[in-house]
Each structure stands twice: as C-alpha cells, then as structure tokens.
Amino acid sequence: MSETAEELDAQETEKEFKELLTFFLAGEEYGVDILRVQEIKGWDSVTNIPNTPEYIRGVINIRGAIVPIIDMRLRFMLEKKEYDATTVVIILNVVSKGNADRVMGVVVDAVSDVYNVPINDVKASPDFGTAVDTEFVTGLATIDEKMIIVLDIDHMLNAAELAVVDKMTE
Amino acid sequence: MSIDLQQFHETFFEESFEGLDIMESGLLGLEQGDVDLENINTIFRSAHSIKGGSGTFGFSAVAEFTHDMETLLDQMRNGERQVSKSVVETLLGSVDVLRNMLNAIRDGSDIDIDSVAETTVAIKAILGLENTVSAVENSTEVTAKGWIVHFKPFTDIMKTGNDTVRLIRELNSLADKAEVTINNDSLPALSDIEPEDCYQSWVINLIGGDISEDDIHEVFSWVDDDCELQIEALANEADYIGPERRDDERRQKAPERRNTERRTTKSSESSSIRVNISKVDELINMVGELVITQSMLSRFGDQEDFTPATIERLKDGLAQLESHTRELQESVMRVRMMPISFAFQRFPRLVHDLSTTFEKKIELIVTGEGTELDKTVLEKIGDPLVHLVRNSLDHGIESPADRVQAGKSETGVIELSAFHQGGNIVIQIKDDGAGLNKDKILSKAKEKGLVSQDERMPDEQVYDLIFRPGFSTADVVSDVSGRGVGMDVVRRNIRELGGAVEVKSTPGEGSVFTIRLPLTLAILDGQLVGIGEETYILPVISIIESLQVKSENINAVAGSAEVYRLRDEYIPIVRLYQIFGIKPISTDLENGLLVVVEAEGKKIAIYVDDLLGQQQVVIKSLETNFKKIEGLSGATILGDGTVALIIDIAGLIDLYQKDMASSVVSIKGAAA
C-alpha cells in the first residue's frame, strides 16, 4: 500500500533520472552509473602483476596513473573468451568508504548503449540466477522490453580487492 | 558579506603549532640558563600571536588560556619576575596543554578540560601567590582609582599602520580625566627626521572611570609588539589576592603530571608544505628556459624541408630540452625536500622530560640539522627516531651513580646526527652508555625461542636480534620503552621508507644506531631486467654485481635450494620466474644472468633472462588504485608508455624465504 503511495508521490514530484552506460557480458546486459565512467578504451596489452588471481589482468598506464585491469568474465567465473575487436576496457572511478577514490578498469565483451532511467524504475533484484552475484547488483531496470542489470561497482570492485587480500593472508 | 574564516583555519593551526615549537625550544633555552631578553620576547611573541589568532577565529578557550600564559611571560619580559625552574616547568606544561587543545579543536574532538583547568590554576597560582604586586595588576577583576600608562612606541610603529594619536584618544575615552605628557627627548634635529618614524613617547595619567588594566591592554593590543608599555596603578589601594589561590599541593601536581603524560605526537601528515622562495624562483627560471626551448623547437614544425643543418639544430634543441627537463625534475624534487631539523626539534624537549623521569643526566648533541630529505620520509621517520632516542636514554645511558663507578662523567651524551653519504641520508643515534649486553640479548632470545639453544652467532647478528618482533631486554617494563613492540616496528617503518637500520655496539662505550634512508621516494636509479616477456626494475643501489653463471659454482642444498659460490661466499639463487609465476625464456641458469643484490645485510642472486639497461625511473605507487603487492615496491612508466614493476629486494627475500619454508614443509609432508 504504502509502496504505491510512495511511487505516486515520486511520480508527482520530479522524476529523478539516472544515466546508465550498459555493456554486454556473456549475453547479458549490465549497466553502470555513467558518472562513474572515466573513459572507454580498446583492449591493449597490460603488465602482469605476480601472485594475483587470474581475473586481475594487470596494470596499465592511464596518463601517468597505474590502473589495475579486471576481467569481468574471469571475476565471475564465466567461460573465458578470446578478446576481439569489440572487447573494451571501461575505466571506472571507484568510491570506497574511508579511502580515497580509486580508478580501475574492467574488461567486458562490448559496450552497448546509454540509457536514461528513472531511478524509481530500478527494482530490487529478486534472487535469481544471473551470472553476477546478486550481492553486487543494485537492481534491475527494464528498457524497451530489455532487462538491464544495474551493478554496484563500488561494492563489486572493493570486494574484488578484498578477495585478493584474503588470498594473500592465507 | 561575511568572510568564511574556515579557509584560514588550517593556516592558523599550522602557524600555531610552529609557534608552540618556538615557545618550547625557547623555554628549554631558558631552563638551561639562557635568560636572554630576546629569547623571552620570542616566546612572548609566539604566545601573543596564538592568542590573537585564536581570538579572531573564536576559539575563546585557547585565547583565555593563552592570555594567562602571556601575562606570566609579560612579567618575565619586564623583569618583574625571576625566571625560575618551576615557572619554566609550568610554562612547558601549558605549551603541552595548548598543543592538545589546538589538536582537539582541529580534529573536532573534546578538549581535555581537566588538564586545562589544572594548568590554568597552576599559572594563576604563580601569578597570584608569588608576586602580589603583579597579581593586583593582572587580575581582570581589579580596578584602581587611576593608572599611569608609560607608552613608548618603537620608531617604526607608523609603518605597521598604527596611529598613536588614535590610541591616546581611545584611552581618553575610557577615563573620566586623562593627563597626557609628551616626551620629545629623542626627537632628532629637523634635518634628520624621517617623516614616517615616531620619536615621541607619552605618559598618560588616567583618572577615574573604573578602568581595569585589561581595558588598557585592550587598547594597546594591536601595538603590543611595537612599543614599550608600562602600566602602573595610580593609587595602589586594592588589597587584592588572586581568586584562584590554591594550596601548594595543587600547584605541585601540574608539572608532575606533565612528566608522566606522554605527549601525543600524532604523526599528522599535513597536506601543505612551506617552500623557500628561492626554490620556487629556481622552478620559475627552469620553466622559463623550457618555454624558450619549446618555442625554438616549434619552429621546426613549420619547416617545409629538412636540410642537414636544420636536423643538426633540431638535435641541439632536443638535447637542450632533455637537460632542461632533467633540471626541472630535480628542482621539483627539491621542493619536497625539507631540513631534518623538523624531525630533530622535538628531541631537546623529549630528552629533557625523560631525563627527569629516569633521573639521569643527559646532554643531547644535535648535528646536521640542515640535511634535507623528502617530506614524506621526514614525516614518517619521526616516530622511529623518538623510539630510538628513548631507547638510548632508557637502556643505553646508565644512571649517574653507575657512570661514576665505571669511570665516566656523570652526564651521559646522546648524539643525534644526520648527513649525506653516497645517495643516502644517514641518521645516527649514538650514546656513550653501557652498550648492548650480548649475553643478555642471547639468553633472552633463547628464552623466547628466537634462536635455538646451542646456536652461536657473530656479534652483529646477536645485536640484530633486538629488531626481531617480541624482543625486549628491559628488566622492568617502563612506560617509555621495554614493551617489546618497539624495535621491530622501528625496523619495519624504516624498511617501508626503503631504508635500513643497523646497530653497532661496544660494551662499556656505548652503541650507535645507524639509519640509512633514500634521498627521495619519488625517483630511483633502476636496472631494467627481462624475465620472459616481462620487464622488471631492480634498484641499482642494492645491486652488488651481475655475472654470468659458471655451472661449477652452482651447488644444490638439500635438493631444492640452490646456492652460488661467489668467491668465498655462498649466495642463494632466487629464480624470479618461479616466485612471480612468469614463463621465462630459459630455465637453464647458464643461459641467463645472475644479479647479486643485497638488502639488510642479506644477499641473494636473482636469476634473470637479460639485463636491459639502466635509467632513472619515477616511482608510482601501486596502492593508489590497487594495493600493496608483496615483493614489489611500486611501478613506473617506461619510455614507450608501458608499465614496469619495481622489485622490493627486502620483500623479495622474505618472499623467497617463505617459499623455501613451504617447500621444505611439503618435502617433509611427502616423506611422512
């Protein structure tokens, strides 16, 4: 009840929109807040970092900053895919509580589009079998009959980081 | 429109902390008998500007507190009060309180009201009890029937924008009646008069009007530093005794408290930096040169065709560009360099406090304060240094009685020195105490299981044991040192800075702790090495030599570990590709090269495929966007834009030892 009332309220007042950059990963479309995207670049060779999990591909130089590159397929234990012409690296600003912002890159199959999505249209995700752990999903948005999985990149990329620390302290 | 004062807070705090440091060193000077008027004035001025600043920013607690200190200092300045040890102690205590207050305000935490109140009481007690005359004069409550104000401005008072007439007018407005006498004695001949100088002085008699001395001080508050001001009560009737009269017991408490309370030396890494103007000028010059070179080079862009002559000029230009860039880089680096006195300045106080606590007599000799090192290093070296000095004081220097018995002078000497050596900064802490007790260290280490019972080792290795975690030889755990968490932390902190610490000791003569630090954290001379397809960088400073492998010199120890016999030494071979999980070009030692490196006295021979060349590299942190990786100290960007990782030798040795340990375990496991 109250939910519908809230929704009405939200619609009556100003509708807040969020722009999402979407990309493909193993056939599914994912979205990230476009304000977090620093740049998109094609796959280029990286410098490997020893003794890190496979999904951390290495580091690259972005205008003098050393930026780690994370392969999303490997991160979520999806099937490996050869990098091709559409493979891109999305450079993201990652905000972590108590620390300075960091810049990280993620390797995805291809970029798709930019959508303007009303914030209220992003629904909490049911427990279902996406490839990405629901832990890292902010919610689902439907655009033109398509489902887009909106990712919580802060949580995801800080967790990736944590996973590495765990491995080191074993 | 209101001005946002917030933006000035940081500057205020910085200046105040600087002021406090000045006061502290001044007070320590006073204690050692340097009762120089100029010294007292310096202390007074610092207190005064802290008071002024805190008033402006509305930190009234600080302003009030400082006011009392200032009053006391003012009396000392005017010669109304003898400089005694107890007064200096109290003032030193209040410097601490003030520092804590400012810290609390800056961090938004609560001020420790108890200590403030206690110290205020202590100061007021001095003001109120020991000198009744000044108690009368300095109380905010008291008013006299009238006042005589002797006002003698310094000649340059006008230049600070102050108008003496205005001041006198203001005084006049306070009192019912004011009589002003002008003194023109120092007025020079008309031809010699500087129109902007002030030569007169005034005596103003203020009568009636319920004026307190503070009211008068208020009028002169802006010119306090620019004049000689004397205020006397006209009719000294007030039979006044300070309201805060306390029993002696209370007064005694404050200085004691200060000794036991450790100063909160929070390593606040402030984000701003003070730079000598000459360094900035140098930078501007360099940038100017760079612009000239750039405009010269840009002309070549317009050229239609290149003749051999233009190519020659182009080459010259590029060479110039290179040298300017390098100089510019060096100048920028110098901006980050600060004299080590910033780290050293806290030691006179520390030694003073601790020698009281331990009842030892200690002289501190500081040399090389001007040695410059990187700001980051400077900030992080403070705490380890404090620990080492404390350690020398606590464990090193013997009690006066023991010293006399050992035929030494009663006063122990701790020498703190800094100097350049090679590409390093060396900091030494030297004491003339008893030296490290080898037997005690060894037995303690055995007790703690750090070495096996029957192990024999050379002296240096025994001394080195004190840097192991969980080691402390102090019989009594004191509040200063002896908790056994010290030396290993010292070594770790120094290692994090890319430095090393070692100790030398002679029984009966003392010990020397030597810290070696890199000049800067930002640039490193790197040796590029190739392993498989990867390029890694070894710090040239830790490389001893590189050599081609002679197979007859390779020995395998216990099946898995390999050592290389180099002259008379056996050096473990570290196959970097194994540790880092890289596919090498060749696994046959004879096809590659060994680079012998040393860190913290340990040597290893790193097996690499190829040596690629040497260059200066700018160290970039991996932690900014990622995290610390064991065995790596950072990364850099090579000429072609790719990233190369820089190897941390000490970390690599640890990694290698862990690797060896685990392989030993697995062998044992297989055998079982």
The ipTM (two decimal places) reads 0.80
User: Within 13 Å and on the Cβ side, how many CA atoms surround A47?
Assistant: 26
> Among the options B70, B244, B372, B398, which is catalytic?
B70
Class of domain B339-518: alpha beta
Nearest CA in chain B to A44: B642
What are the tokens at B353?
A: 């406090």
Nearest CA in chain A to B641: A61
> Would you say residue A95 lies in a domain?
yes
- Whole-angstrom CA distances from B604 to A54, A79, B496, B544 are 29, 41, 20, 10
List residues in chain A touching B: CB distance below 8 A: 45-52, 58-61, 64-68, 100, 102-104, 161, 164-165, 168
CATH 1.20.5 assigned to domain B146-233? The reply is: no
CA-to-CA distance for A88 and A38, rounded, in angstroms? Answer: 13
- Domain range for A74: 15-169
The predicted structure's pLDDT at residue A39: 92
What are the tokens at A97?
A: 């509580």
Given a cut of 50, the residues of chain B with pLDDT beneath it are 1, 130-143, 236-269, 475-484, 669-672
| Nearest residue, CB atoms, A50 vs list B580, B624, B635 | B580
Classify residue A84 as exposed, middle or buried by CB count within 10 Å of its CB (0-12, 13-18, 19+). Answer: exposed
Does A45 sit within 8 Å of B625, measured CB to CB?
no
- Whole-angstrom CA distances from B499 to B390, B449, B514, B630 are 20, 28, 10, 17
Does B630 sit within 8 Å of A59, measured CB to CB?
no
Indicate if B146-233 has the same CATH topology as B6-138: no
Distance from CA of A47 to the nearest CA of B (A): 6
- Whole-angstrom CA distances from A99 to A96, B380, B624, B625 are 6, 20, 10, 10
| Window 33-72 of B, Cβ < 8 Å to A | none
> Among the options B48, B67, B324, B387, which is catalytic?
B48
B387 is catalytic: no
What are the chain B neighbours of A164 within 8 Å (beta carbons)?
627
What are the tokens at B273?
A: 């930096």
> Would you say residue A145 lies in a domain?
yes
User: Within 13 Å and on the Cβ side, how many CA atoms surround B355?
Assistant: 19
Of B636, B600, B611, nearest in space to B527 by CA: B611
| B303-B307-B313-B319 Cα dihedral, nearest 10 degrees | 100
What are the chain A neighbours of B645 within 8 Å (beta carbons)?
47, 49-50
For residue B216, which amino acid is it?
I
Does A48 sit within 8 Å of B534, measured CB to CB?
yes
CATH number for the domain spanning A27: value is 2.40.50.180
- Helices B37-56, B6-31: crossing angle, 10 deg rounding: 160
| Cβ-based contacts under 8 A for chains A and B | 68
User: Within 13 Å and on the Cβ side, how many CA atoms surround B278?
Assistant: 0
What are the chain A neighbours of B629 within 8 Å (beta carbons)?
49-52
> Would you say residue A10 lies in a domain?
no
The end-to-end CA distance of chain A, in Å, is 49
Does B620 sit within 8 Å of A68, measured CB to CB?
no
Distance from CA of A106 to the nearest CA of B (A): 13
Does A47 sit within 8 Å of B620, measured CB to CB?
no
Of B652, B455, B659, nearest in space to B562 by CA: B659
What are the chain A neighbours of B627 within 8 Å (beta carbons)?
161, 164-165
| Helix H or strand E encompassing B45 | helix B37-56
What are the chain B neighbours of A58 within 8 Å (beta carbons)?
643
The predicted structure's pLDDT at residue B17: 85
Residue A106 pLDDT greater than 90, yes or no: yes
CA-to-CA distance for B540 and B380, rounded, in angstroms? Answer: 24
Longest dimension (CA), chain B: 108
> Would you say residue A130 lies in a domain?
yes
Distance from CA of A7 to the nearest CA of B (A): 39
CA-to-CA distance for B134 and B80, rounded, in angstroms? Answer: 8
The predicted structure's pLDDT at residue B606: 92
CA-to-CA distance for B164 and B180, rounded, in angstroms? Answer: 12
The residues near A162 (Cβ < 8 Å, ≥ 6 apart) are: none
Residue A165 pLDDT greater than 70, yes or no: no
The predicted structure's pLDDT at residue B595: 93
Q: What is the per-residue burial (b if ≥16 Cβ within 10 Å, else e) of B602-634?
A: ebbbbbbbebbeeeebebbebebbbbbbebbbb
> Would you say residue A7 lies in a domain?
no
Distance from CA of B103 to the nearest CA of A (A): 21
B391 is catalytic: yes
What are the tokens at B524?
A: 């490193």
Does B622 sit within 8 Å of A66, measured CB to CB?
yes
**What are the extents of the domains in chain B?**
6-138, 146-233, 277-335, 339-518, 523-671
Distance from CA of A39 to the nearest CA of B (A): 16
Pairing of strands B177-183, B201-207: antiparallel
The residues near B625 (Cβ < 8 Å, ≥ 6 apart) are: A65, A66, A67, A68, A102, A103, A104
Q: What is the per-residue burial (b if ≥16 Cβ within 10 Å, else e) of B264-282?
A: eeeeeeeeeeeeeeeeeeb
> Would you say residue A3 lies in a domain?
no
| The CATH number, out of the four listed (1.20.120.1200, 1.20.1600.10, 1.10.287.610, 1.20.120.160), of the domain defined by the range B6-138 | 1.20.120.160
What are the chain A neighbours of B632 within 8 Å (beta carbons)?
49-50
Classify residue B396 as exposed, middle or buried by CB count within 10 Å of its CB (0-12, 13-18, 19+). Answer: buried
Class of domain B523-671: mainly beta
Q: Is B69 helix (H, G, I), strand (E, B) or coil?
A: helix
- Whole-angstrom CA distances from B368 to B334, B422, B430 are 18, 16, 14
Pairing of strands B372-374, B337-339: antiparallel
The residues near B604 (Cβ < 8 Å, ≥ 6 apart) are: B571, B572, B573, B574, B596, B597, B649, B652, B653, B656
> How many independent structural domains does chain A possess?
1
Residue given tokens 């990712």 in the structure block:
A151
Q: Is A36 helix (H, G, I), strand (E, B) or coil?
A: helix
Mean pLDDT throughout A147-160? 82
Classify residue B408 as exposed, middle or buried by CB count within 10 Å of its CB (0-12, 13-18, 19+). Answer: buried
The predicted structure's pLDDT at residue B133: 40
Interface test with chain B among A38, A54, A61, A67, by most B beta carbons within 10 Å = A61
Model confidence at A23, pLDDT cuts 50, 70, 90, reads very high
B237 is catalytic: no
Nearest CA in chain B to A165: B627
